[in-house]
Structure 1
Amino acid sequence: MRTLEIVHRTRYEYSEPVTLGDHRLMFRPRDSHDLRLLHTGLVIAPAAQVRWIHDPFGNSIAIAAFEGTTQILELVSTIELEHFGVPPELPPIEEFARTLPFSYASEEAPDLARYVERSYPDPNSSVATWTKQFMEGEGGNDTFSLLKRLCMGIQDKLKYAMRFEPGTQLPAVTLETGGGTCRDYALLMIECCRSLGLAARFITGYLYDPALDAAPGEATTHAYPHAWMEVYLPGAGWVEFDPTNGIVGSERLIRVAVARDPEQAMPIKGSFTGSPDVTVNAMVDVQVRTLSPVPVPETSVPLETGPSQAPMPSPAPAPTPEAQEPPTQAL
């Protein structure tokens, strides 16, 4: 278990004044058995009115509303959490689900149905055909072995490439072009799993390397906005796979939110109104610091433009790159 502080700073600079529309912010993780939220903070410039909602998946969402015009938008999220990582052994999968194909139990099937449903066009069945190659090899149709081969196969057979276009590629396009970003890889594996009749969903969060940790309380190290996915396996529950790095779960992955589709899990989603010629310069920086076991009080982040400070809802007491898109312009 590690106690971490993550500071996620995003800044947009506009070449001329613009009017900001509402922004939907997804920074606050959900408490779980593998992640305990200790403290949160959110600083926004220019000043904004902030309200909090839960989305259909139970994620905590901040809606920021702005007035007037501005040439900057800066968002600083600070979270402090205890991260327990992933157990070294997967919980046992139910006997009936250990090999493919299988059907989910009647009490779970209705709730998983939308996660099993294919969501993207695949007119030539390229995704399903590509997936079938992983049904061969050691382990055969063993469910977990096949999923590991698929996860590592996406990393091995495709080429990771930065992409600056907004949104996520269609899975068939990722196969056709031979590469994509972490969001593209996650969506491809989701659709591959769905072609096998498995429930799968999208995760947004952070990737960092615990091996680079400094001594508690000392220097920070970089983390990265990241996307991966998880599959529902009876008996084991939702199991995380990161096809970008070819890993199954990991203490390197810090989950923030889950959704059925990538467009439902954007860390920042908003709009602005300005002239057709306005340009936007975007900067994202995520720093992670290992804390001592003693909780460290939050320090506010000073900004030059009179920010609003919108504390995230306090976590309830509990027992002892690249996933961001620039705001969409509305002309």
Structure 2
Amino acid sequence: MKYQLKHLTRYEYSGPATLSHNEARILPRQLPWQTSSNTQLIINPGGLGFSERQDFFGNRVTYFAIEAVHNSLEVVVSSEVETFPRPAQDFFSGTAWEDAAAEMSCAVRSGNRDSIAARLFVLDSPFIARQSALMEYARVNFASGRLLRDALLELNKRIFDEFTYDEDSTTLATPLQEVLETKRGVCQDFAHLLIGCLRSIGLAARYVSGYMETSPPPGQEKLLGADATHAWVAVFIPGWGWQEVDPTNGCVPDERYIILGWGRDFADVTPLKGVMTGGGEHKLTVAVDVIPIVDVANERSLF
């Protein structure tokens, strides 16, 4: 799949800001199943000291500063992204979830570098704390002796079935316990919830940030700015790698999913954050477009 990606973030301030230092994590990762090209980053007002680096998790981070007095900040990134099928899942079909949890508990002794690196994603993080309520919710699907693949897909689908997507029900500060009790939230909440469940039973799970192509109703054109950033989960399978699942949609991500970055939770992959002098209160606007690119040459070859 080929896409034209555009992501606009705009802050409007109630008062003038005189200085800001910013970090943006809005450039797509380069992965075996995902490439990006023709990427442009436009900042208004113009920034200074541009630099790009990789953070601890390998995400692309752009730093910039603004010294001029400004009442708004607009960051627009556009890129062409091509995605391919994820690695096949058959290899770990026979892995028991308890064996995977045991590998995480003794990762250092095992000496396996991948398992040692994944151990970080079993621990608590700023937005996700392991707790008995999450463990109990997960154990309905992760009964003793069950295969990891079957239990994971079942729990992923169960969250999709039992929880309601509601943009007005939560904020960044809403604790997971409340999300579990009300069974309402957004993709960020459902990703945090699934990660919390998995970590609470000893499995390694990370938060994935990116986009998903959405299709308009039949007969209607795709609305510009109608897409949004999305969040899902990747679970570590010892001896195999990371398996992605999407609890918001109850499915396994495919070529329609574009990855920006990953981390322990949302705090590690915030699209745009920084500090500034002045500015007062602010209003945030985000608009995302994920537009499929038609391969004209291949399309003509079909006729």
Same fold (TM over 0.5): yes
Which secondary structure state, in structure 1, belongs to the residue aligned with residue 9 of structure 2?
strand
Contact between 2:20 and 2:66, CA under 8 Å: does it hold in 1? Answer: yes
Which residue of 2 is the match for residue 115 of structure 1? 121
1:42 CA displacement: 0.1
Q: Which amino acid aligns with 1:109?
A: S
1:262-281 correspondence runs (5 A) = 262-274=266-278, 278-281=280-283
Shift in CA distance, 177/185, structure 1 to aligned 2, threshold 3 Å: same
Which residue of 1 is the match for residue 189 of structure 2? 184
Structure 1: stretches of 5+ with no match in the other structure: 296-331
Equivalent-residue separation in structure 2 for 1:7 and 1:147 (angstroms): 32
Contact between 1:206 and 1:253, CA under 8 Å: does it hold in 2? Answer: yes
Equivalent-residue separation in structure 1 for 2:133 and 2:34 (angstroms): 37
User: Deviation digits for residues 215-239 of structure 1, max 9, x if unmatched?
Assistant: xxx9967431111110011344111
Q: Percent identity at matched positions?
A: 31
Q: 2:96 aligns with which of 98, 101, 111?
A: 98
Which secondary structure state, in structure 1, belongs to the residue aligned with residue 141 of structure 2?
helix
Which secondary structure state, in structure 2, belongs to the residue aligned with residue 73 of structure 1?
strand
Which residue of 2 is the match for residue 67 of structure 1? 67
Q: 1:134 aligns with which of 141, 149, 155?
A: 141
1:170 CA displacement: 3.1
Equivalent-residue separation in structure 1 for 2:67 and 2:117 (angstroms): 41
1:92 CA displacement: 1.2
Shift in CA distance, 189/199, structure 1 to aligned 2, threshold 3 Å: same
- TM-score, scaled to structure 2: 0.83
Equivalent-residue separation in structure 2 for 1:197 and 1:181 (angstroms): 25
- TM-score, scaled to structure 1: 0.77
Shift in CA distance, 91/210, structure 1 to aligned 2, threshold 3 Å: farther
Which residue of 2 is the match for residue 305 of structure 1? none
Q: 1:173 aligns with which of 155, 173, 178?
A: 178
Question: Is 1:234 matched up with 2:238?
Answer: yes
Which secondary structure state, in structure 1, belongs to the residue aligned with residue 92 of structure 2?
coil
Which residue of 2 is the match for residue 23 of structure 1? 22
User: Deviation digits for residues 32-87 of structure 1, max 9, x if unmatched?
Assistant: 12101122110000110121111001111001111022111111100111111446
Shift in CA distance, 236/109, structure 1 to aligned 2, threshold 3 Å: closer
1:192-231 correspondence runs (5 A) = 192-209=197-214, 222-231=226-235
Equivalent-residue separation in structure 1 for 2:217 and 2:30 (angstroms): 25
Equivalent-residue separation in structure 2 for 1:164 and 1:141 (angstroms): 34
User: Deviation digits for residues 280-313 of structure 1, max 9, x if unmatched?
Assistant: 2222111122224489xxxxxxxxxxxxxxxxxx
Q: Which amino acid aligns with 1:90?
A: Q
Shift in CA distance, 155/8, structure 1 to aligned 2, threshold 3 Å: same
Equivalent-residue separation in structure 2 for 1:65 and 1:194 (angstroms): 37
Contact between 1:168 and 1:184, CA under 8 Å: does it hold in 2? Answer: no
Equivalent-residue separation in structure 1 for 2:200 and 2:230 (angstroms): 24
Question: Is 1:246 matched up with 2:250?
Answer: yes
Contact between 1:210 and 1:252, CA under 8 Å: does it hold in 2? Answer: no
Structure 2: stretches of 5+ with no match in the other structure: 298-303
Shift in CA distance, 213/30, structure 1 to aligned 2, threshold 3 Å: farther
Q: 2:288 aligns with which of 286, 303, 306?
A: 286
Equivalent-residue separation in structure 1 for 2:209 and 2:159 (angstroms): 18
C-alpha RMSD over aligned residues: 2.9
Which secondary structure state, in structure 2, belongs to the residue aligned with residue 175 of structure 1?
helix
Shift in CA distance, 85/211, structure 1 to aligned 2, threshold 3 Å: farther
Which residue of 2 is the match for residue 56 of structure 1? 56
Equivalent-residue separation in structure 2 for 1:143 and 1:159 (angstroms): 25
Contact between 1:140 and 1:146, CA under 8 Å: does it hold in 2? Answer: no
Higher helix share goes to which structure? 2
1:171 CA displacement: 2.3
Equivalent-residue separation in structure 2 for 1:283 and 1:221 (angstroms): 11
